[in-house]
Amino acid sequence: MHMFETFTISPVGVVESTLQSLDDCPLQGHEGAPEAILRISPQYQQALKGLEKGRSVMILTWLHAANRSVLQCYPRKEVHAPVIGVFATRSPDRPNPIGYHQAVIVEVLEDGLKVHPLEALNGTPVVDIKPVI
């Protein structure tokens, strides 16, 4: 694969959350993020088999509201700290805004998962779900 080759990622589902704006979102899930539902598209629902209540999962999302032109920022929005590169932060604003969230399954639904905590906006595309090992 050539270093600059492009590729396509298709969402497997979408986040349903009470978080409606970026201002509503905590910086990290453990800082007060609510429960959320991951609604999985019908063609991927069979992939939920084997997931159970209480299991920790990694949720990869596409942070669709992110500013993809940002290369440097203040860590944790601390404007008195030195500016650093976004690859050294968890900032959602970055060239490829892939969100990485660890949450616990609260309930396995017929068409998805209820998880806690999740600091992703309502309508955020879900790219993948993986168990924490």
Question: Which pLDDT value is given to residue 21?
Answer: 76
Q: Would 119 be classed as within a structural domain? A: yes
Q: Would 33 be classed as within a structural domain? A: yes
Q: Would 8 be classed as within a structural domain? A: no
Question: Which pLDDT value is given to residue 25?
Answer: 64
Instruction: Give the residue numbers spanning the domain of 59.
Output: 13-64+94-131
Q: Tell me how many domains the chain contains.
A: 1
CB 91 within 8 A of CB 70: yes
CA distance 100 to 51: 18
Q: Would 86 be classed as within a structural domain? A: no
Q: Would 54 be classed as within a structural domain? A: yes
Q: Would 31 be classed as within a structural domain? A: yes
The enclosing domain of 50 has a CATH number of: 2.40.30.70
At 27 the three-state DSSP class reads coil
DSSP 104: E
pTM: 0.87
Question: Which pLDDT value is given to residue 31?
Answer: 62
The DSSP bridge partners found for residue 107 are 114
Q: Would 81 be classed as within a structural domain? A: no
Question: Which pLDDT value is given to residue 78?
Answer: 77
CA distance 87 to 105: 28
Question: Which pLDDT value is given to residue 60?
Answer: 98
What residues of the chain score a pLDDT lower than 70? 1, 22, 24-32
